[in-house]
Structure 1
Amino acid sequence: MSGINYSEKIPNNVNLSEDRTLQRALEHWQPNYLQWWQDMGPDGSQNFDVYLRTAVSVDPQGWAQFGHVKMPDYRWGIFLNPAEQDRKIHFGDHMGEAAWQDVPGEHRANLRRIIVTQGDTEPASVEQQRHLGLTAPSQYDLRNLFQVNVEEGRHLWAMVYLLHKYFGKDGREEAEALLERNSGNADNPRILQAFNEKTPDWLSFFMFTYFTDRDGKFQLCALAESSFDPLARTTKFMLTEEAHHMFVGESGVGRVIQRTVNAMNELKTDDVGKLRAAGVIDLPTIQRYINFHFSVTIDLFGADQSSNAATFYSSGLKGRYEEGKRTDDHVLKGNTYKILAVEEGKLLEKEVPMLNALNEVLRDDYIKDSVGGVDRWNRIIEKAGIDFRLKVPHKAFHRNIGSLAGVKVSPDGRVVSDHEWNQRVEEWLPSDTDRAYVGSLMGRVVEPGKFANWIAPPVMGINRQPVDFEYVRFN
């Protein structure tokens, strides 16, 4: 078992006590982190006892222990997957060489940038979700929100450890800056735009954890291939926790759909007005939320052609999703890849060097993965005997980065005029009216086993507990 030392002020499995300078630096950062959690973490929840899962080891058998704990007392710490003996670099120009245990000088700036960008997303999502606890649809959901929040906090710790240990004074300054930027702050926003968007309601939260945390999965998988071994080991363990966030999203949207189709069958109607009068979220509104969150998330992968992506790959800093399962030469110098372009008002594919298109490769892998959950949501609708299908929009829809930025494309992939876009945008993206309606449903339900009218209960509780278990104790 790769155990974690919980007797330390900062729980860890990296022998922190043997590096006194690093330990002191992180112990100096810790109070600032706790102050950030107090100021920007879940609103009004500091004294709740929450039924949380804590890592006790990093092996698959024993990494989760459940119990009630106050969130500010959660044992955040630094956990890396066990080292792989004699690990070799398996892609890029250094293929076959020993994996790096320290940062090569020539890659220092790029590695720092990658770690800071990943680190910045973690506290950003906590800030975006700060007020959601005040409108939780059930205790079960409130607990899941808090579990996601504490794990995003731990992922911040994971990146801060790398900055402190491997990047000296620069790393310490970057670690401070991670607590100084805030989501949506006009003067000091988060690095990536999707992490400055509001998460105003629980439908947005479920969409965020399904779509945007899935971007996290793909970015972490690409970093888990890194030639910089401490980064690869760190991100591999983070992926274990990320899976829960996507489960919260997929099951959450599924339960919203379940409640809606139940109401449609009870009332024998698909009339949006009647369904809204009954207090459920109609399927066309769910589709518009999918369109918004999917399109905002696929922008996170970056421009479709990127010299940085080529550099990161060839240097061995960041691989592809499941690099080891691919059958090419893992150097890609002569390979090409198709990306979308717009010519004479039409979308068409063009071949470009694959090294420059690696953001697009990762985006396409992500899109394939995203479709699976949407298919499972459709099975709920199908089972209810309702003729309606949810789908992810075309990847050129509502894009704000790369060659498709600002091009007006419908969800089914037609290039449209500004006039048609303006006429139909409220069919395709959530309108102010949609958001106000969904917002109007958000009222706090905290009695064990009770659920808001707009969402169905889960099939089972957490860690084999009953659905009406006291997941949160309000002290």
Structure 2
Amino acid sequence: MASVELSERIPNNVGLSHDRRLRRALEAWQPQFLEWWNEMGPADSQAREVYLRTATSVDRKGWASFGYTHMPDYRWGVFLAQPQEERKIAFGEHRGEPAWQEVPGEYRAALRRLIVIQGDTEPASVEQQRLLGLTCPSLYDLRNLFQVNVEEGRHLWAMAYLLHAYFGRDGREEAEALLQRRSGDEDKPRLLGAFNEQTPDWLSFYMFTFFTDRDGKYQLSALSESGFDPLARTCRFMLTEEAHHMFVGITGLSRIVTWLAMTRMCRRPDLSD
């Protein structure tokens, strides 16, 4: 496994400094990503310094490094979980065979489709949540929203890396298309219907992070068992970040339920009852 390259333009542990073709491709994609972020990321937030968690490595000491940063300067990067030595495919027709380090030709289309759909959900949720910061109930909620947003952006980077690294020209075109579609757009909508719905208020956001991100966790858990090892390692690391998204939904709904219960308890009884 390559060492963590934090000084590179794109922080990574996949050896971009030794792969000039892939590095150039991702560095060409990076300005398009930043343009998308500035257009569709959290509204009126680009000048703010936010206390954010940023991954600097994939071990326990580095995956959760905290500090203040402007969101456009956030160090999005490419991180894969540590490889498992002599990993075998755990199920299916190829059970017991060595995990694939390259894309098998017979599964190329299916794997590309899975990666594209997963990648499409990441920027879509940022677009759905773009205006929520303007009505946040507290600074605590605002910080949690921004943390979710930057991590969805990094998950997009994870899928874009796989497309660039393993799927040639088709992959590069698909990675560009991830930045061209828009949630709810009539002409270029997101691929899954749930990610074209509006998230107009914080209750909707809490429900999204409680239910949809829970579904996303199971999707990532399934992909983390993939016979295609780079996809499996990518999703194993993404799962460390997905837990916080579910936490936001669980605690947000818990606060609402508690507030409703307290309101009911404090309400004066109706003497006519």
TM-score normalised by the chain length of structure 2: 0.97
Q: Which residue pairs with 1:247 in the alignment?
A: 247
Query: How far did 1:97 drift?
Result: 0.8
Cα pair distance change 1:65/1:3, threshold 3 Å? farther
Rounded to whole Å, the distance in 1 between the matches of 2:214 and 2:184 is 21
- Asked if the contact 1:164/1:175 (under 8 Å) is kept, the reply is yes
User: 1 CA distance for matches of 2:74 and 2:177?
Assistant: 23
Q: 2:209 maps to what in 1? A: 209
The aligned residue for residue 90 of structure 1 is 90
Separation (CA, whole Å) in 1 of partners of 2:268 and 2:242: 39
Once the two structures are superposed, residues 378-413 of structure 1 have per-residue CA deviations (whole angstroms, 9 ceiling, x without a partner) of xxxxxxxxxxxxxxxxxxxxxxxxxxxxxxxxxxxx
CA deviations on 1:166-192 (whole Å, 9 max, x unpaired) are 000000000000000000001110000
Cα drift, residue 28 of structure 1: 0.2
Which amino acid is 2:62 matched to? G
Aligned twin of 1:11: 11
SS of residue in 2 equivalent to 1:35: helix
What is aligned with 2:20?
20
Indicate the residue corresponding to 2:68 in structure 1. Answer: 68
Partner of 2:223: 223
Question: In structure 1, how many angstroms separate the alpha carbons of the residues matched to 2:135 and 2:155?
Answer: 25
Partner of 1:29: 29
Query: Runs of 4 or more off by more than 4 Å in structure 1?
Result: none
1:50 and 1:212 map into 2 onto residues whose CA distance is: 25
Amino acid corresponding to residue 220 of structure 1 in structure 2: L
1:81 equivalenced with 2:81 (yes/no): yes
For residue 90 of structure 1, report the CA deviation from its aligned partner. Answer: 1.0
Distance 1:60 1:161 in 2: 23
Aligned equivalents of 1:3 and 1:190: distance in 2?
Answer: 35
Runs of 5+ consecutive residues of structure 2 not aligned to the other structure: none
Query: What SS does the aligned partner of 1:68 have?
Result: strand
For each residue in 1:48-87, what CA deviation from the matched residue of structure 2 results, as whole angstroms up to 9, or x when unmatched? 0000001121123431111110000000000000111111
Q: Which runs of 5+ in 1 are unaligned?
A: 271-475
Alpha-carbon separation, structure 2, partners of 1:108 and 1:3: 28
Shift of 1:261: 1.2
2:135 is matched with which residue? 135
The letter of the residue matching 2:120 is D
Is 1:192 aligned to residue 192 of structure 2? yes
Q: How has the CA–CA distance of structure 1 residues 269 and 151 changed in structure 2, closer, same or farther, with 3 Å as cutoff? A: farther
**Equivalents in 2 of 1:243, 1:3: separation in Å?**
25
Aligned 8 A contact 1:22 1:165 in 2: yes
| In structure 1, distance between residues paired with 2:154 and 2:4 | 14
Letter in 1 for 2:193: Q
Contact kept, 8 Å, 2:12 with 2:79, in 1: the verdict is: yes
What's the CA shift for 1:268?
3.9
**Structure 1 residue 157 displacement after superposition:** 0.1
Q: Distance in 2 between matches of 1:63 and 1:129?
A: 24
Cα distance in structure 2, aligned partners of 1:89 and 1:138: 46
Task: State the match for 2:166 in structure 1.
Answer: 166
Q: 1:77 to 1:145 in 2, by over 3 A?
A: same
What are the residue-to-residue correspondences of 1:141-160 with 2, within 5 Å?
A: 141-160=141-160
1:120/1:3 Cα in 2 relative to 1: closer, same or farther (>3 Å)?
same
Deviations 1:278-319 (A, max 9, x none): xxxxxxxxxxxxxxxxxxxxxxxxxxxxxxxxxxxxxxxxxx
CA contact (8 A) 1:160 1:175 kept: yes
Q: In structure 1, what residue type is equivalent to 2:68?
A: H
State whether residues 3 and 58 of structure 1, in contact with CA within 8 Å, keep that contact through their aligned partners in structure 2.
no
The residue identity in structure 2 corresponding to 1:228 is F
- The answer on whether the counterparts of 1:2 and 1:58 sit within 8 Å (CA) in structure 2 is no
Say what the alpha-carbon RMSD is for the aligned residues. 1.4
Q: Name whichever structure is richer in helix by fraction.
A: 2
Percentage of pairs with the same residue:
69
Map of 1:327-346 to 2, 5 A cutoff? none
Q: In structure 2, what residue type is equivalent to 1:219?
A: Q
Task: Tell me by how many angstroms 1:260 deviates.
Answer: 1.4
